Amino acid sequence: MNKPKAHVAESKKRQLEEIKKLCSQYPVIALIDMENMPSPQLQKLRNTLRNSIIIRMYKGRVLKIALEQLKGKLNGAEELQEKVCGMPALMFTQENPFKLYKLLMKNKSSAAAKPGQKAPKAITLSPGPTPFAPGPKIGELGQLGIKTEIKEGKVCIKEEKLLIKEGEAFNAKIAGLLQSLGIEPMEIGLNLTFALENGIIFGKNVLTVDEQQYLNNVRLIASETMNLAIYIGYATKETAPLLVKKAARDSLALADSLNIITDETASKLLKKAEIQALHLKSKLNIPEEKEESEGTVGGLN
């Protein structure tokens, strides 16, 4: 007896077809984690990015099924399927993954931490004044291991204090303290986790590029390449003028060391000979020649 096929809702069928269609139309497909993304901010971002990016939210199971059906048709579909987690969404664009990541980072905004959220980075409180007046706040800070003192009517932090480590969850006390200090450690925006282009999966750690550091590395490599080419005498359009100058300097140094007289070395060799003669004269105690005085005859005035 044949097992009856599971019923698939028409809405899910339409979503599957939409995913496959968009994947065939756009060269870059990005996987987005929508967790902790408030609806108003999402709508604002959609309006900002609508001319260059399409965002579609799907249930994880529907997305995995669509990517399963795309195996063999979309290079990297299997790898992307394995990355689906959290509250996923797909982003479709013509932009390359690096420009896309930079664009999304540019459109992020800061927000206060809420209990249960994980710290995106370690947070350390530095010594100095706080906006708090002396009172119950001293006890609250003490419970968090923060040493304080009173200066000019304000509570001051005495020593640097690591409040929370990266990846740790905020509790109510820490979240409340940060909010009262005006510290907003969270970032609201689209969290790109992976991007697919030409069958290659790009993770966040690859897409996070320090442009200035990248340019500095390119300059360093160019400089080291030029130095190596000069050292081994490799002639190119860029190195030829430098190699000619180097050859001229080396030949001049060689002629100088072998006392070969040329238009360039003659004056230097004469000066060198003069110095050697004076040194030899001093060593042999040869007296200076005195000129006869004018107006003397036979040594008599």
Q: Please say if the pLDDT value at position 5 is more than 70.
A: no
Return the pLDDT at 7.
56
Q: Where in the chain is the domain with CATH 3.30.70.1730?
A: 10-108+189-208
Q: Where in the chain is the domain with CATH 3.90.105.20?
A: 123-186
Q: At what angle do helices 172-180 and 136-143 cross, to 10 degrees?
A: 130
* Percentage of the chain lying above the pLDDT 70 cut: 92
Q: Helix or strand or coil: residue 262?
A: coil
What span, in angstroms and rounded, lies between the C-alpha atoms of 252 and 194?
60
Q: Is the pTM of this model over 0.85?
A: no
Instruction: Quick: pLDDT tens for 106-133.
Output: 878 888 898 998 888 899 999 999 999 9
Q: Does domain 10-108+189-208 have CATH number 3.30.2030.30?
A: no
Instruction: Quick: pLDDT tens for 14-41.
Output: 889 999 999 999 999 999 888 767 777 7
CATH of 123-186, one of 3.30.980.20, 3.30.70.260, 3.90.105.20, 1.10.110.30: 3.90.105.20
Q: Please say if the pLDDT value at position 298 is more than 50.
A: no
- Local confidence band at 148 (pLDDT 50, 70, 90 cut-offs): very high
> 284 or 89, which is more confident?
89
Instruction: Answer yes or no: are the C-beta atoms of 93 and 100 closer than 8 Å.
Output: yes
